[in-house]
A and B are shown apart, each in its own frame.
Chain A
């Protein structure tokens, strides 16, 4: 069975500071990896995904994540955060032959001015 662990439930950070949101997964088979963002009272928006190829993937708003197979991690990073990045971030995996997404418990990123 697959599982996802997000080690930090909350991450407070000041505006323009760098941030890393940690995600580790467990799976005996190959997986796809995703980061979704959820703004207050909204659904989930896809931030970025790793399917294959380059282990470093980037989003259009400055976030990036690196797939590390040996450490079974897919940490999300941003070099300089903005107030508008305040949201809940969910890491998820899906197994190659299914569409079922397995989510972590989420990390609330709070950016302070």
Chain B
């Protein structure tokens, strides 16, 4: 079975631009979560979506938004990019709520 897939794998943007990151969960998984991993640190929770509804939000500014589609895939959007948004963005899926999360390979974003 295919695991969690994310696209693109790498991305370079400049300050002020907008970015959209995409995630396809494991088949049958209905929950998707997003994490930001800054170099040298552990991942930080951004959002969780379940059945297309936001179920949790971390301590991130409103420039960060996300949505989940009927096929359970998800997009993370970041507006007005800052240098500090440079990080590895990880998507994780789980079959439902309160179940083990499985991570994708991540999208590495560099903001110049």
Residues of A in contact with B (beta carbons under 8 Å apart)? 4, 34, 36, 42-46, 49, 90, 92, 96-106
Chain B: minimal CB distance from A69 (Å): 20
Verify B43–A90 contact, CB threshold 8 A.
yes
**Chain B interface: which size bin?**
20 to 34
Report B53-112 residues with CB < 8 Å from chain A CB: 55-56, 58, 90, 92, 94, 97-106
Residue of B nearest to A96 (CB): B98
Complex alpha-carbon distance, A43 and B97, angstroms: 21
Query: Which chain B positions have C-beta within 8 A of A45?
Result: 103
The residue from B41, B44, B56, B105 contacting A99, defined by CB atoms under 8 A apart: B56
Chain A: minimal CB distance from B53 (Å): 13
14 A–B pairs (Cβ distance < 8 Å), ordered by A: A43-B4, A43-B105, A44-B92, A46-B103, A49-B100, A90-B43, A99-B31, A99-B99, A100-B48, A101-B33, A101-B35, A101-B101, A102-B45, A103-B44
The residue from B31, B45, B106 contacting A101, defined by CB atoms under 8 A apart: B45
Verify A46–B56 contact, CB threshold 8 A.
no
The residue from A36, A49, A104, A106 contacting B103, defined by CB atoms under 8 A apart: A36
Known: A99-B31, A99-B97. A44 touches B55 (CB 8 A): no
Verify A99–B90 contact, CB threshold 8 A.
no
Other 20 A-B pairs with CB < 8 A, given A42-B105, A43-B105: A42-B106, A43-B4, A43-B90, A43-B103, A43-B104, A44-B92, A46-B101, A46-B102, A49-B100, A90-B42, A90-B43, A92-B42, A98-B98, A99-B48, A99-B94, A101-B33, A101-B101, A102-B45, A103-B44, A104-B42
Complex alpha-carbon distance, A43 and B107, angstroms: 9
Residue of B nearest to A104 (CB): B42
